[in-house]
């Protein structure tokens, strides 16, 4: 008869086996998948790009930061890079023409690029508001539309939009940014319904406090604001994006997933 210790060991080995099989399957699935990522030169976008590249994907990285893109290309020669201001609709359409010529079609689109700019209400010009909406909301719509036009019906497809917890919580001067991220959440479920029966699912990730530098730069008080006990990292967002792109997760559709360490669920009394 097996002892409790042996039974526990066998269970652990069994679950390890399942984990390894699942990991190998997903790596095999992602191999040669074609991924378009905006805002891919830094921060969350860079983590997204390197995560999907490490899975064997082809990535078309888009950003206005040319030096950042060049560094990414140096580290990952198989990565296509494109310097582009995504407020430029003709530029987006030309990009998709290149994608069609080189790849034929794309499997995954991640709308990550955005402007995080806070301007006091009385100083915020209409042109400031329009610029933020154009980059943060209008561009993801155009990218998604062109992705859908390129897509073959009934084949695998994923669109992931990067929103922000600021669509449900604000600071002074965040009118344009908050409106753009709230729009992203609404755009997500609208796209999911418009693209029903095409094979494309559409979801959005709403990050909270994601620190792009060294976590050691932050104070204990910064970390303790989060029920998870730490400030977020770009990889926290990338891992959820990878999860949503796995083939077995197609029943998650039109959803907003918060990656904020529980911060928006924490009551704070001052």
Taking the CB of residue 114, how many other CB atoms lie within 10 A of it?
25
Structural tokens at position 204: 């959005």
> Are 109 and 160 in contact, with CB atoms under 8 Å apart?
yes
Q: What pLDDT score was predicted for residue 169?
A: 81
Q: How far apart are the first and last CA of the chain?
A: 59
210-234 confidence digits (pLDDT tens): 888 655 677 777 787 777 667 779 9
* Domains, the chain, ordered by start: 31-265 (3.40.50.720)
Catalytic: 177? yes
25 has pLDDT over 60: no
* pLDDT, mean of residues 163-167: 86
Res. 57 pLDDT band, cuts 50 70 90 = very high
Give the span between the Cα atoms of 208 and 232, in whole angstroms.
7
Q: What pLDDT score was predicted for residue 124?
A: 92
15 has pLDDT over 80: no
Q: Write down the pTM of the prediction.
A: 0.86
Q: What pLDDT score was predicted for residue 212?
A: 81
Q: What pLDDT score was predicted for residue 242?
A: 96
Res. 173 pLDDT band, cuts 50 70 90 = confident
Q: What distances in angstroms separate CA 98 from CA 4, 111, 237, 254, one per listed residue?
A: 60, 18, 28, 29
Q: What pLDDT score was predicted for residue 14?
A: 65
Catalytic residue among 96, 156, 177, 269: 177
């Amino acid at each position: 008869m097996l002892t409790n210790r042996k039974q526990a060991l066998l269970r652990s080995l069994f679950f390890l086996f399942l984990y390894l099989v699942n990991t190998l399957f997903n790596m095999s699935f992602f191999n040669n998948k074609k991924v378009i990522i905006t805002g891919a030169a830094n921060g969350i976008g860079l983590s997204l790009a390197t995560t999907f590249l490490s899975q064997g994907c082809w990535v078309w990285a888009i950003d206005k930061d040319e030096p950042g893109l060049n560094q990414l290309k140096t580290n990952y020669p198989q990565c296509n890079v494109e310097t582009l201001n995504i407020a430029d609709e003709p530029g987006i359409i030309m990009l998709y023409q290149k994608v069609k010529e080189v790849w034929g079609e794309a499997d995954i689109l991640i709308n990550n690029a955005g402007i995080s700019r806070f301007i006091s209400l009385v100083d915020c010009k209409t042109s400031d508001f329009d610029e933020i909406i154009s980059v943060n909301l209008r561009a993801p719509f155009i990218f998604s539309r062109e992705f859908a036009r390129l897509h073959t019906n009934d084949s695998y497809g994923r669109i992931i939009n990067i929103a922000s917890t600021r669509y449900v919580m604000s600071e002074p001067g965040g009118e344009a940014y908050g409106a753009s991220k709230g729009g992203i959440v609404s755009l997500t479920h609208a796209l999911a319904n418009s693209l029903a029966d095409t094979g494309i699912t559409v979801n959005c990730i709403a990050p909270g406090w994601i620190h792009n530098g060294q976590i050691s730069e932050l104070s204990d008080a910064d970390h303790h604001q989060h029920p998870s006990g730490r400030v977020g990292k770009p990889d926290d967002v990338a891992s959820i994006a990878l999860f949503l792109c796995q083939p077995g997760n197609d029943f998650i559709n039109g959803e907003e997933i918060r990656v904020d360490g529980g911060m928006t669920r924490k009551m704070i009394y001052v």
